[in-house]
Amino acid sequence: MTMNFTRRSALGAAAGILAGFALGGGAEAQSARMPFERWVEAFRSRARAKGISDATYNRVMGSLKPDTSVYELDRYQPEFQEEVWQYLNRRVSDWRIVTGKERAREHAAVLERVEREYGVDRYIMAGLWGMESAYGDLIANPKHMRPIFPALAALAWGEPRRRSYWEAELLNALVIVERGWGTPEEMIGSWAGAMGHTQWMPEVWLNMGVDFNHDGRISPFGPPDDALAGTARYLVERGNYRKGEGWGYEVRAPAGVVAKARGRRAIASWQAAGVTRANGKPFPRPQEQARLWQPVPGGPLFLLTRNFDAVKSYNPANTYTLAVCHLGDRIAGEGPFVREFPDGERLPTLSEVQEIQRRLTKLGFDSGGTDGRVGNDTMSAIRKFQLKVGMKPDGYAGVKLLARLREGM
């Protein structure tokens, strides 16, 4: 099983299980075929076949209680309908840009070494780190992370459509404990089992992990060295990242070229057709192969190279990949996109987001803090305020919302 398939499977499984349980299935319905304790004992033979000792199995699984809340996570995830510009503004936020620059300075030696040894641009790595865990700030936050063994065991036991996938990841997690790379207590992550600075699934940890800080074990927790190096290795080996090439460029192009754009070709060929960089600078490598992409009609237009697809291998979504790459550029000192999205808003500053949070809390809508980071608590508070005052309840912390908050209730 390749790494690309594994991460894609995790994302697909996450979407699938939520959709399935939203239709009415519950823990009891899914697991009725065998009580959990009997399933744990039956699963022991699978663990032994993977080289997991009875001592390790008993330590991890002996008194484990399944985290059946994973079956109903859709109840706790508000449905925010995001426009592309909102998605990008939320993730390439002023907080992530400012904090990303600080982290890039603090960890310059590690990022430079990762770039030197794996060829992945240090700012791409910083952008991915910021997207996956807010530079490590979320990896131990109980609002976002939970012990992975109760979650994976519940999924392996009680989720029938992707049971083989969850069983494999539970076994992978047990192998990690068997090897002494992690303990059940420290292995916390998302409800689907993704862990650490760059949100590794157990299979990623086992097969792409690197002991980059030479402490004798591989871990996505603690210092970010191993996580960044292992993720760079992932992009190279399973995303085919190409050293020394960019991810893409914001461009301008004649309307006829955009309408007829098909496939990938050399940037020099796009130039001959009238495509230019939006910032007026020359293309640094005209020989790069690239394809034309416009996320939204009338919005920014991009030439995307093969390295965009390499980053996309980590999470198969164009908007996610664009956010990672754009965040990396902003951390490196580049400006916002030249062309604005139709009906979009400018990016609110860190102080403006903090003001939004303060005003919401003062009005009785608890934002969960005033640090300028927009998480689920802030989004929920915004949505409640928007519903109260008759605004579109999209949960977006933008400048229009701030203007409305300044008017009061």
Q: What is the pLDDT of residue 141?
A: 81
Give the residue from 277, 301, 332 where a domain finishes: 332
Phi (first) and psi of residue 302, to 5 degrees: -135, 145
Same domain, 258 and 320: yes
Q: What is the pLDDT of residue 390?
A: 94
Q: Is residue 73 part of a domain?
A: no
Same domain, 326 and 357: no
Q: What is the pLDDT of residue 16?
A: 45
Same domain, 361 and 316: no
- What's the sign of the alpha-carbon dihedral 44, 47, 52, 57? negative
Same domain, 327 and 355: no
CA distances to 21, 118, 157 from 24, rounded to whole Å, are 5, 46, 18
Count of domains observed in the chain = 2
Structure tokens at 377: 């608590």
E strands, 23-158, in order: 146-147
Q: Is residue 110 part of a domain?
A: no
Give the residue from 306, 332, 358 where a domain finishes: 332
Contact in structure between 45 and 171 (CB atoms under 8 Å)? no
Q: Is residue 317 part of a domain?
A: yes
Q: Is residue 117 part of a domain?
A: no
Q: What is the pLDDT of residue 374?
A: 92
Same domain, 366 and 327: no
Give the residue from 303, 332, 361 where a domain finishes: 332
Q: What is the pLDDT of residue 6?
A: 52
Q: What is the pLDDT of residue 77?
A: 47
Global pTM reads: 0.89
Q: Torsion over CA of 217, 60, 21 and 197, rounded to 10 degrees?
A: -20
Q: Is residue 28 part of a domain?
A: no
Q: Is residue 363 part of a domain?
A: yes
Same domain, 312 and 359: no
E strands, 48-190, in order: 146-147, 188-189
Q: Is residue 258 part of a domain?
A: yes
Structure tokens at 322: 């664009």
Q: Give the domain range for residue 356.
A: 350-407
CA 195 – CA 186 distance, rounded (Å): 10
Q: Is residue 285 part of a domain?
A: yes
Q: What is the pLDDT of residue 142?
A: 77
Q: What is the pLDDT of residue 241?
A: 98
Same domain, 265 and 323: yes
CA 170 – CA 176 distance, rounded (Å): 10
| pLDDT mean for each 10 residues of the chain (409 residues) | 47 45 40 82 97 98 94 54 92 97 98 98 98 93 89 92 93 97 95 96 97 96 97 98 97 93 95 97 96 96 98 96 98 97 95 97 94 92 95 94 92
